[in-house]
Structure 1
Amino acid sequence: MGPRRVIAVRHGESEANVAYRRAGDRPLVYERGDDEVTLSDLGREQARALGVMLAALPPDEAPEVVWCSPYRRALDTWAVAREAWGVAPPLTVDGRLRDREWGELAPYNEAAIGERFPEELARWRAQGEYLYRPPGGESFGDVAVRLRGVWGDLRERADGRRVLIVAHDAVVLVLRHVIAETPDSELAGLAVFAPVLNASVSTWGARDGRLSLLGFNAVGHL
């Protein structure tokens, strides 16, 4: 059957999130590697709030194991939340839970892509967010492939257990697609559920032998 409960969390606000928001429509080149980006002060507060929420869960809903992206902002979110929770379930760090890769375009916001790589911006707009694969990067379909691998491992290794996943917006969004076993031809339909907010919580629970979505992108704990 697989996990009987899954809680998927996006990391707290990161320094990159702040930089991109401040840049707005102005070109931005963000030099720090995606795997090295840290949490902002607000992001740490959000992670603490997540830990408080976990501590308030009934015993039969609290996670028993944790799977986390290897990127620093996700690991930091879990570290701060774990301290606030006061519980440290077994942790698995899985590279397949990393954020969507943008390849050669990774340092640039949309305005900078348009300024430096106008042909790629045109291709991105023509193909759409969910089909577009940046040079050396991933489409949402590529993310779905690796998350199906994660989900297959969770079904075996976390059978009957409650799992917390700490990762990224693209991961949480595509995980919804993977758990529902939706065809990849329908990936563009995920747009109605975006954006996945920082430190938001999405929950699935076992019903009639399969997982059903109980809540998505919830931020009431913040």
Structure 2
Amino acid sequence: MEQLEWLAVVRHGLSTGNVTAQEAETGGAELIDIPERDADVPLADLGREQAEAVGRFLVKQKPRLAVVSPYLRTRQTAEIALGESGVETIVDERLRDRELGVLDLHTARGVQARLPEEAGRRARLGKFYYRPPGGESWADVLLRLRALLREIREDHPGERVVLFAHEATVLMVRYLAEGLDEQRLMALAHDTTIANCSVSSWRRSGDRLEAELFNSVEHLHREETPPTRQEDVDDQPV
């Protein structure tokens, strides 16, 4: 199977949910007060500006295909970034954010206070394999991403493709593209906050993809403070 020429993944711009979650974490709250369901959280005004900056970056990269998470904040990012470029765009539910089940809308403090048994189970199993009731493990998300990337390679061999997705997705695409293991992925997740509208990319070298950029924000107008890490609540909401 022919390799892609270039693959990039863009995390969506700053969302209203990111702002609310950061305020809840820093304020010591146990719950995050977001009225919309996760799929309907929109971009904040700053997130729209960030998406415009991504668009200026992508003009130079000339992607042929964009594959987009169905979540509103991600679709808005892609729509703003791609504008009238004519890039073929596909919305695919396999790029949706990780589903958190009972952990949804809990801060790190809230999980420890309200769901101590789940906190203990996660600590024992590790984040890679821990599946919250009603939600997904990181391994579950990797299954759908692996299938999606295989399909993209089969249908668009040798092309330049950009994905618009979520924080955890960026880390998991790197896991797949570079053949990482659980330990290296979890170390990345612990040490790295994937910035809103950051770009991570890989370029073909022979029959494999080689890393080009990771979590790059040089294309943004100005430095933005990334959302507060939630080391105990993965990607809420991202």
- Give the TM-score of the pair, scaled to structure 2: 0.85
1:81 pairs with 2:85 = no
The alpha carbon displacement at 1:82 in A equals: 1.7
Partner of 2:227: none
94, 97, 104: which one aligns with 2:95: 97
Partner of 1:2: 3
Q: Is the 8 A contact 1:173 1:194 kept in 2?
A: no
Distance 1:96 1:179 in 2: 17
Q: Is the 8 A contact 2:198 2:217 kept in 1?
A: yes
35, 53, 56: which one aligns with 2:57: 53
1:65 pairs with 2:65 = yes
113, 117, 123: which one aligns with 1:125: 123
Any stretches of 5+ residues in structure 2 without a counterpart? 221-238
Distance 1:193 1:4 in 2: 29
Provide Cα deviations, 1:78-111, integer angstroms capped at 9, x if missing partner.
111122xx40211111100011110122122222
The alpha carbon displacement at 1:192 in A equals: 5.5
The alpha carbon displacement at 1:181 in A equals: 2.8
Provide Cα deviations, 1:106-161, integer angstroms capped at 9, x if missing partner.
12222222232121122233433333221111111111111100111011011010
1:166 pairs with 2:164 = yes
The runs of at least 4 aligned residues of structure 1 exceeding 4 Å deviation read 183-186
Q: Is the 8 A contact 1:2 1:154 kept in 2?
A: no
Partner of 2:229: none
Give secondary structure in 1 for the equivalent of 2:129: coil
Any stretches of 5+ residues in structure 1 without a counterpart? none
Partner of 1:194: 192
CA spacing shift, 1:130–1:194, aligned 2, 3 Å: farther
Distance 1:99 1:172 in 2: 11
The alpha carbon displacement at 1:35 in A equals: 0.6
The alpha carbon displacement at 1:72 in A equals: 0.5
CA spacing shift, 1:193–1:143, aligned 2, 3 Å: farther
Distance 1:23 1:159 in 2: 44
Partner of 1:43: 47
Distance 1:211 1:122 in 2: 38
Letter in 1 for 2:6: R
Q: Which moved more, 1:21-30 or 1:9-18?
A: 21-30
Distance 1:99 1:194 in 2: 18
Give secondary structure in 1 for the equivalent of 2:212: strand
Partner of 1:32: 36
Give secondary structure in 2 for the equivalent of 1:66: strand
Q: Is the 8 A contact 2:128 2:182 kept in 1?
A: no
Q: Is the 8 A contact 2:3 2:207 kept in 1?
A: no
Letter in 2 for 1:74: T
1:209 pairs with 2:207 = yes
- How many pairs does the alignment contain? 216
Q: Aligned-residue CA RMSD in angstroms?
A: 1.7
Q: Is the 8 A contact 1:140 1:187 kept in 2?
A: no
Distance 1:7 1:110 in 2: 30
Give secondary structure in 1 for the equivalent of 2:193: coil
1:180 pairs with 2:178 = yes
Q: Is the 8 A contact 1:12 1:77 kept in 2?
A: yes
Provide Cα deviations, 1:13-71, integer angstroms capped at 9, x if missing partner.
1111000111123212334211111101111111111112222x1xxx31011100000
